[in-house]
A = this chain, B = another copy of it.
Amino acid sequence: MPAPIQLLSELAEGQEAEFFALLSEKQEFTTRDGKPYFRVSFRDARREVGLPIWSDSPLANACRNEWAVGEFYRLRAKLEQTNYGPQLSIRRIRRVQDGDRKDGFDPRMCLRCSRFDPEQMFAELAAVAKERIDDEPLRQLVVDILDEHRDALLTLPAATRNHHAFVGGYLEHVLNVVRTCCHLADKYAELYPDMQPPLDKELVIAGAILHDIGKLREIAPTAAGAEYTASGVLVGHVLQGRDIVREAAAGRDICPEKLLRLEHVIISHQRLPEWGAPKPPMTPEALIVHYADDLDAKLNMMVATLAEDTGDGPVTTKRNALGQPIYRGVV
């Protein structure tokens, strides 16, 4: 009976096992005495391990001519500790085949993922839309947009890098923003009962749910994460999110003023022109969504920087998504 398939991220040091992995990196270098070699990396959802393939390795030919970044492999290999960190010593390797699914292979097992269940996050998002948006045409608009893009949203990252750049990251980020917005909308509607026009709580919530919906068109998931689409480069998710809403609203009986204000929440959510907003927030609803969004993104960058930075001393370097040192504390 064959040894059961293991997870790369669960291998112990020195352990040899069979597992599935994504080839996430393959770059050619040359030694100073002129010999070419490749540096390759394999990963699953929670561990990435690199190794060199020297030109005299029995794998050299396959590596050069066949292995491709973004494809999945079934390996038998040993995890070894070396002076240059952990490396794989490969015994056998082949492309994943259809039959491997029955041994447990699933492409998503090889990508960085949200710690939360996408299905549950999606369900909560839909539930908030249904419970908190009273205006029927607006509620239906939001719910329909979610439903139409359900499959894509379940795996979409929130960005190609910077923040929440992993499978399910979109839902994780948006859900955080929506929850904060529910709290803030309730709070400020109560605080300013005399505002004219009154704070439109359901607009805050609809805006929070849809503020980043243009990511569906701006970035495209790849085996290695996500990359910008042509239209994402030339137009950008801020405008594309408004497009999705306008297209979905066409032919519906939605109040034009409400729709316009919703569009404004989306295009102003990055607040300043140099941060990517064609218009600054000019309504209380847009202002609230901006702050909830920006805090969640920046805090995620800070948390990720603290988790990944390997320096010592009380602060990290400023080479991170925030572009400033983060205080790590006295340890």
Contacts and interface: CB of A to CB of B under 8 A. Distances in A.
Contacts of A236: 278-279
A137 interface: no
B315 A233 contact: yes
Interface in A220-252: 227-231, 233-236, 238-239, 242-243, 246
A306 interface: yes
Interface in A290-304: 291, 294-295, 298-299, 302-303
Contacts of A238: 278
A104 interface: no
B184 A228 contact: no
A307 interface: yes
Given A236-B278, A315-B228, A327-B233, A298 B303 contact: no
- When all copies of this chain in the complex are counted, the total is 6
Interface residues of A, number: 74
Nearest to A197: B329
A83 B30 contact: yes
Nearest to A266: B235
A303 B192 contact: yes
A31 interface: yes
Interface stretch (A19-27, A205-213, A255-263): A255-263
A228 B282 CA distance: 15
Interface stretch (A9-17, A92-100, A175-183): A175-183
A282 B35 CA distance: 40
B33 A282 contact: no
A326 interface: yes
A319 interface: no
Interface in A33-54: 33-36, 52
Contact of A257 (B33, B246, B330): B330
Interface string A275-287: 0101110111001
A58 interface: no
Contacts of A197: 329
Contact of A302 (B264, B287, B330): B287
Given A191-B176, A282-B324, A314 B228 contact: yes
28 contacts: A29-B32, A31-B31, A31-B32, A180-B187, A195-B307, A196-B307, A229-B314, A230-B314, A230-B329, A230-B330, A233-B279, A234-B263, A234-B279, A235-B260, A235-B263, A236-B279, A239-B242, A257-B329, A257-B330, A264-B327, A273-B274, A274-B274, A278-B278, A280-B324, A282-B326, A283-B327, A284-B302, A291-B295
